[in-house]
Each structure stands twice: as C-alpha cells, then as structure tokens.
Structure 1
Amino acid sequence: MQDDDGRWVNFILDWEGTQNREGRTSVPGGDFWQARALQALAHSSDILGDKRIDAAIRRGLRHIVGATDVPADVRALHVMTALALLDDTEDHELRGVVATWCDEIVGCRDGDMLMNSPFERGRPHLWGHIQEAVLADAGVRLGRADLVVVARKSADILFAEVVRGCFNLPRTQPYDVASAVYVLARLADVTGASEYGALATAARAWFDGRNAAGQPVYSRSEGRVGDGVDGHRVSTESGAEANIVSAQALFDDVVTLARELSSSEALPVSVG
C-alpha cells in the first residue's frame, strides 16, 4: 500500500488488491493513513526485525516531517511515531522536531482545552483525540513539565465530566471511548495520579453497560462490539473500526481471552 515515493493509500477496491487512489479517504499520502502507517511501522520495527520496515519508514517519514498546516489530532500521531523511533536512538534532530510538533499541538487550544484543528468549534470530537496522552509522554521524554501541565488541564475539562456522566451524549462511538481510555491511562502512568486511573477504569466500563443505554456494547459471548450508542440504543451493527479500537481499549481482556483459546480456535481456517 506504500508507493515508491513513500506515500500510503488507505483502501483497496477489490479482491485483487486494486488500490483506491482517487477516493477522498484514500488518496496517496492522506493525513491520517500516512500517520497511522508510520506509527504502526515504528512500533513493529524492533518486534519483527525486518529491514524492509526501516526502509519504508525512511521513505514515508519525510512526508510528515515536511508537512505543514497539519491538524493537531494528526500531529499527535506524528509525535507518537517519533517517540517510538527515539526509543532506539538519541537523534537530536528528531528530538527537536518532536518539540516543535508538541508546540504546534499546544498552540491549537480554546482556553485550556486542546482542539483537533483550528477550525473546530465548541467541544472537540473525541474520536482520535489523544493529544493529552501524547503531550504527557513527550513531556517526560523531553524533560518538559509544561507539556504535562497542558495535558492535565485539557483532560480535566474534556474527559472527566464525560466519563463520570457515562458518556451520556447524543451519540458515542467505541473510538470516542477508546481515545478517552488511552488518554486517561497514559496520564495515570505519567503523573501517578490515582484519579486518572479510576477514570480510565470507568471509561472501559462503557463497553459493559456503563453507558446511556445501560446495555453492553461489547458482547463477550459473541466476541463482537457494536458500532456505538445512539441516544439510549446500542447499535446492532458491528464494523471493523469498532472492534479494533475496542480491542485496544480492552487489551488486557483480549490477551486473557486469547490465552484461553485452543489452537484450533486461535488459528484461522484455511481457505480454498
């Protein structure tokens, strides 16, 4: 899915793997998929030990380093990628880039509340909103306590009330909740403040019925997650995104379940 020039496309059109190069959500080098692809490769490089990964990172990285006018929620993914790459090196140039990106994120605020873009109005959407977590982690790595302070102030405004109110919003998606869980869990780890850990636990409980519908969104017996809660109704649909982000938010549960599976249950059935 990566072009020779380092850009990624997001989707395929058919079973033959024809790339979707024209669609608005799949054009080569689009903000979110370029960022997510690099983030995935940065985290997998050490695990897989495949030299092709490092080559793909080098080709793709220049597109995000050179990018301007990047929305803050996308820039947060760039920072996550850079922090993963810095785990293996003291690249002073990359550290400088991370610091600049963090300042960009901090600059995209309404009062103390971090926004996803300068054009957003009101409260920011929660799906993909992880700026607070990223600033907290970067603050530790860069030795900048100011970033952690900004992260805490924003999280206290944006997530605390929503989580305590059981995400009682007109519509809540698993991606909203997973983002909240990630932010609160990272703040708990970075700051050691017990209130963030408690809020992260309460946010995870949304999947098991601590929500506006009062019903589980995650069917543990069927192993599927609904697409969200509309008003007081749990969606009967269950898409890929909902299940992927929910697995991330409930990772400990996923690992426990996987360890209980037999080999025949865990391995895919051969096709054809």
Structure 2
Amino acid sequence: MIKKFRLYLLLIILTEVISFVGWLIPEIGAVGFFAVAVVALLFSVEKLEYGLLFLFAELFIGSKGYLFSYEYEGALFSARIALFLVVMSAWLGKIILDWMDISKAPKIDFEPWMAKSKEFMQQDLWSVSKKITGQTKEASVKVKVKPSVYFYFGLFFLAITWSIVNGILRHNGFNNVFFDFNAWVYFAVIFPFAYIIKNYHKEKLEKFLHSLFIVFAAGITWLSIKTMILFYLFSHDISHGIDKIYKWVRDTGV
C-alpha cells in the first residue's frame, strides 16, 4: 500500500509540474492534453478500472478540470472532458464486444414462452394470472409496484436532455449550452462503475476499490501540501514568479 501511495503521489506531483510548464508554454500544454488522453485510452482499453483511476485522480486534485486543456475554434476543452470521453468510449467498446461474443450474448429459450402463450390462448387472462400469482382479484388490486432505480435515473437524464433542447431553442450558442450541461453528464460514469461491479469477482473488485482509496489518499495529501506551499508563497513578500503561479492556479483551477 505504501509503495502504491508513493507512486501515485509522485505521479500527481509530476503531472502538476508538467501542467505548470504547459501553462507557461502552450505548445507543451497541448501535447500534455493529448498525451493524457492517449495514455488513459490505452490503459482503459487494457483494463477499464485503470481509466477510472485516471478519471477520479483528476477529480480529486482538480476543481475545474483544466489541469491540461486544448483550445479549438475558441472553445477550451479540459482534460476532464477528454478523460470522460475516453473512459466512456472504452466502456461502450467493451459492451459492444461482449454483445458480439456469442458465448456472452443472452440466450433466448422459446419453449417456455410458447407454452405460456398456448396456455394463455386456452384460458382467460384472469385465470392465468391467478394461477401464476396465487392471488385473489381483491388482493391483486392492493399490490403496489415499486419504481426501479432506473426509473429515477431515466427522469434525471430526461431533465438533462430537456435542458439541452431548451437551451438550443432559446438560441444560446453551442459553447454556452455544452459547457453548461457537460458537468451533469459526468453522472454517466456510474455505468462504467456498474460494469466493473457486475463483471469483476469479489477479490478483483476489492483490489480496484483499494486502489481507488489510495488514489484518493494521495490526492488529498498532495492538495494539503500544495495548499501549505501556496499559503507560504502568497503570505510572504516573494515577487519573483509569484504572479505566474497565481495565474496558473486561477486558470487551471487546481
């Protein structure tokens, strides 16, 4: 655990140093943006949990997600958006491959369905439902159906979709609409997380959660160290380079 903690902490510090250099030299910042995206993609394709570790590490240490960024036609895209797209793409790819794999594809057995259909055709609807449930007509009326969690998530994403449509209908620019709703879309990370929980055995899942905790601990540790360093720099009369550090912290939001 200590070795992993040190490794993650050093990687976080190295990332922040490169971010500062990239802020000073925009060309390096652009290279850093694509390097982070490509590395995260390669790791995500290999193992989806690695991509999630990248994504959550950035969330833990960054407030706005602009540790690295890339500007295209006036729009500034953050590393957070890139990591999200990478992880979601890797997850969708694995879902598609699972469906293409015949051994993992859902098997449909038509015989029970045909038997039920024949029984339904021979008897009236109520007698069949009574036979299956064993309930009386009066008791069945009192049965309450509890909405699934997917129902609530469906309403949630429906509200997000409507907000996008509403923003477009009100003639807002693409940049305003996109950067207003993209933070809400981050809730979709729950799907790759659910994929890991569903497909990984207990030991592998525990290992992933353990690694995630270490990433969190390393991120919090670095934020504490960084806060103390910035507190010292800004509370003392240090004029050389302090303005650049301030602007970097302000622009990157870390």
TM-score (norm 1): 0.28
Structure with the bigger RCO (C-alpha within 8 Å, sep 6+) is: 2
Report the TM-score, using the length of structure 2 for normalisation. 0.29
Between structures 1 and 2, the one with greater helix share: 2
Larger radius of gyration: 2
